[in-house]
Amino acid sequence: MIVVHTVAELRQRCREWRRAGETVAFVPTMGNLHAGHIELVRQGRQRARRVVASVFVNPLQFGPNEDYGRYPRSLPADTEKLSAAGCDLLFAPSVAEVYPQGVGHTTVRVNGVTEMLEGEFRPGHFEGVATVVNILFNLVQPDLALFGQKDYQQLAVIRQMVADLCLPIEVVGVPTLRDADGLALSSRNQYLNAEERGRAATVHRVLQAMAEGLRQGRRDYLALQSEAAGSLQRAGFRPQYVAIRRPDLQPPAETDAAWVLLVAAYLGQTRLIDNLSLS
């Protein structure tokens, strides 16, 4: 696997592959990789001749009280995992390399889908995500890009940005990988202490309980959300939102037959998010 740290090196290698007619899959990450990230690489390997991954902790998507400073950096271990998974090139730039004019000098805002749910509690977050992903897309110019479905709203934002800006990139959502107890894999899970880790899978069980209610014909969405929030609170969580939405993240109607259930909640100092789609 080739490891590059500059835009010039990245562009040169990707240009060579495109001239040779080779398709390129792209997996953008913030590092501290787990099996979910590696599955994205494996899926990319199946769909394209070349796979490019990036490891970049993007300061623009962290709020003033969030964990940018303590976000885990593990580039040596990440490099080994990507190489073992068959990644062809790792782009691991500095902040100055990605934002040569300064962080936030020019930004990308996706209206509508960014204001709700995560956007309500993390103002500016999706602007940071859309900006850095757009920069990376322009640098790599991939044929397809892969993202985990655990960050359901983020995936929706990226799809909307690609459509609105007419980017010639296929955006592929990859199903969430989970531990044996149902906890969605996440880089932030390592912040949980042993006692918290034992309770963390409650989030997935609460989503499953809401889903079962819908399967049984319940359409009292507000009551289902309130019951789920109560279950989380009794288990020691501090829920920020519990939401039942249409797959496009709009509020549901009684006649709907497909939904996405979304949760964000703090357990101790760790913020966990998860979702479940059903029809």
Of 153, 174, 195, the last residue of a domain is 174
168 shares its domain with 257: no
Number of structural domains in the chain: 2
Residue 81 labelled as part of a binding site: no
Residues 161 and 194 placed together within one structural domain of the fold: no
Residue 128 within a domain: yes
Q: Residue 104: enclosing H or E segment and its boundaries?
A: none
Check the annotation: does 83 bind a ligand: no
Beta carbons within 10 angstroms of residue 264's beta carbon = 23
pLDDT at 2 over 90: yes
5 is in an annotated binding site: no
Decide which of 174, 199, 221 is a domain's last residue. Answer: 174
Structural domain harbouring 252 = 187-278
CATH code of residue 145:
3.40.50.620
Query: Do 47 and 168 have their domain in common?
Result: yes
| 179 located within any domain | no
- List pLDDT tens digits, range 236-270: 999 999 999 999 999 999 999 999 999 999 999 99
Instruction: Dump the DSSP string for 32-47.
Output: S--HHHHHHHHHHHHH
Examine the domain organization and report whether 145 and 191 are in the same domain.
no
Residue 177 marked as a ligand binder = yes
Cα–Cα nearest to 146, from 245, 154, 138: 154
Asked if residue 82 and residue 118 are part of one domain, the reply reads yes
Residue 67's pLDDT band, with cuts at 50, 70 and 90, is: confident
Predicted pLDDT of residue 10: 98
Q: Are residues 209 and 123 in the same domain?
A: no
CATH number, domain containing residue 273:
3.30.1300.10
Q: Annotated catalytic sites, by residue?
A: 37
- pTM comes to 0.96
Q: What percent of the chain has pLDDT over 90?
A: 96
